[in-house]
Structure 1
């Protein structure tokens, strides 16, 4: 009989040492991410084997229900455990039990497990196909059968897949569909070759027009924020407040000086585009982007992204992650342009297993569902 795994709180130092020993984990599973979310109580958890060795870790965020000492427990894009272990129950069974003792009425997690991938060519063909309305209507380039088995096992354990909220595949939690440019084993010239013709043309155009991309610091966040609020209005999303980004910068760079970077594209004294980039091990994320509608003809976005992609390659990245994309291929969808932009950089569409809930108190869990649906 396998020895049960023990789940207990760990220190930030233990958590960071565990992360450092892995190729990467999500930036939302770092101790510092808890500092970015002051409305949540954060705790680092560790899974220990029979020999007392730390074999898994996770950041859990506990969000209190108004007027009740009950919490939603959330592990975004985590935990970092062996998801394909034949005895997965040994890993997951202690989690709801432990969190129930902490006052949780429901547990939400996002297994970092890929289900399908569509190459840039496959996505381009799907967009052009009038019969394909969503990504799932198009044949995937690669499929991971183990992910389907994992989903079945989670259901048998009592976990329920979160129904996607938000519009066009963007869930209320973390995105199920993302766009990633694979870097492993590729030179920067290979990655440049993977850009579509429009991207290469726009990078040249920006260079010729004199667009300069520079790295900024905490003091440049207000300039980023001005562009970000303009982008939010244009693209119809609710912007986060400036202190959120300032907190993010302070927390992430305190944990590792190069964890978060800010890039700004300048042209003749104007800041036309800005973006944040996060690095954990060999995974680099483009996390927030912003741009103005002015001077679009000098192509600041392509210039800035190419600089970030080149810097990510220099950092030894195995993947450059453009984060969330829509899974809808309808021409009428205002998010389709963003999908085209990201795939144009040679990115493949990637479907993750999605987020899963374990209701500990069905009444409170249902009440939360109703509340989230009305937001």
Structure 2
């Protein structure tokens, strides 16, 4: 086990960005986005010195109580069935916990709930397993809608879309909707449209400064897409292409010109980017676990389902408690204030365009 120094983060990044379990929230670059958190990186090495496992840990100070909360979003990055590597990485997290006086460590790895082998290993290591039926009870969504590309080209993927999705993409094309990646000069338009979507669908939105940090930190991996109708911006999205996965992270649309279906064409253009860069999967990210028609987030599921992917039910969160009494105090403070300092903000309850899937 080794806790890396910042000058070693390039080696860490090379491993995470190439691993099948890698994701942008485990990137060392993510610490620049979450600049109100601390960050440490732990690696496990083989006998030759090569990295075989890694975990990036965000560190949030809890005021008054004086402890910290440790969180590994979509970590660790390794063979999740290799108990030796997992134990080695956990030893590094334990050292970080002692250094920062942590009351709890939480992780939500890229693992399906059907993976009984990993669940058994996590239980043996002393983790509490938490998950809920809706899928939005934790920091990140537990149900993700994903389109596995499986080496298919654009023609094959387009033919695989549902008839309704193909029709709506063609409506956008015939109507003259233009979708393209743009620079940060369009962030004011994107933030304005995001605010419109938040007001319409009932969720809080992030400030422009957050998206500036995200696009700067993940330069080369993140793109801002905008959709235009008659020269006017009508929709937008921030998408991250990292470690063989193209993830639709933030999205929004205006209240006007919805009849020309700009959001369907925007999704198609982002899928095309995933194909061009050889990704294995296009991840629409979170949906509710309630698939009943008329459910509070059924519209979001219905929109994503049109692209004919599949629902992946992830295992959820795994918590390791270092200081039970302090953790109880933190939980009580959260309940009294009605605010969870390390929880994600309220997610959209409806609307085909809304996406908010990253840790606060």
Same fold by TM-score greater than 0.5: yes
Asked if 1:340 corresponds to 2:302, the answer is: yes
TM-score calculated relative to the size of structure 2: 0.88
Q: Tell me the TM-score normalized by structure 1.
A: 0.84
Q: 2:129 aligns with which of 161, 174, 193?
A: 161
Specify the alignment match of 2:120 in structure 1: 152
Contact 1:63 1:72 (8 Å CA) reproduced: yes
Moved runs in structure 1, 4+ residues, more than 6 A?
none
1:193 corresponds to which of 152, 159, 162: 159
Match of 1:41 in 2: 38
Give the CA RMSD over aligned residues.
Answer: 1.9
Contact 2:143–2:288 (8 Å) recurs in 1: yes
Distance across 1 between alignment mates of 2:18 and 2:88:
19
Structure 1 residues 93 and 274: CA distance shift in structure 2, 3 A: closer
Contact 1:8/1:47, CA 8 A, preserved across alignment = no
Match of 1:315? 277
Q: Give the Cα–Cα distance (whole angstroms) in 1 for the partners of residues 329 and 276 of structure 2.
A: 48
Shift of 1:23: 4.2
State the partner residue of 1:137: none
2:175 is matched with which residue? Answer: 209
Counterpart check, 1:9 vs 2:4: yes
1:275 aligns with 2:241: no
* Offset, 1:52: 3.1
- For residues 70-219 of structure 1, the aligned pairs below 5 Å read 70-87=67-84, 90-103=87-100, 104-115=102-113, 144=114, 147-164=115-132, 168-219=134-185
| Separation in structure 2 between the aligned mates of residue 90 and residue 163 of structure 1, nearest angstrom | 23
Q: Equivalent residue of 2:77, what SS?
A: coil
* Structure 2 gap segments, 5+ residues each: 340-360
Label 1:96 to 1:85 Cα distance change in 2 as closer, same or farther (>3 A).
same
Query: 2:349 maps to what in 1?
Result: none
Q: What SS is found at the alignment partner of 1:247?
A: helix
Distance in 1 between the 2:264 and 2:18 partners?
Answer: 34
Distance of 2:75 and 2:36 partners within structure 1: 19
SS at structure 2 position matched to 1:31? coil
State the alpha-carbon separation in 2 of the partners of residues 214 and 338 from structure 1: 23
Q: CA deviation at 1:79?
A: 1.3
Q: Aligned residue for 1:63?
A: 60
Per-residue CA distance 1:140-184 (angstroms, 9 max, x = gap): xxxx4xx123212212321012344xx932134111110000102
Q: Give deviations 1:86-145, integer Å, cap 9, x for gaps.
A: 546633541442122222111001121123xxxxxxxxxxxxxxxxxxxxxxxxxxxx4x
| Alpha carbons 2:138, 2:317 under 8 Å: kept | no
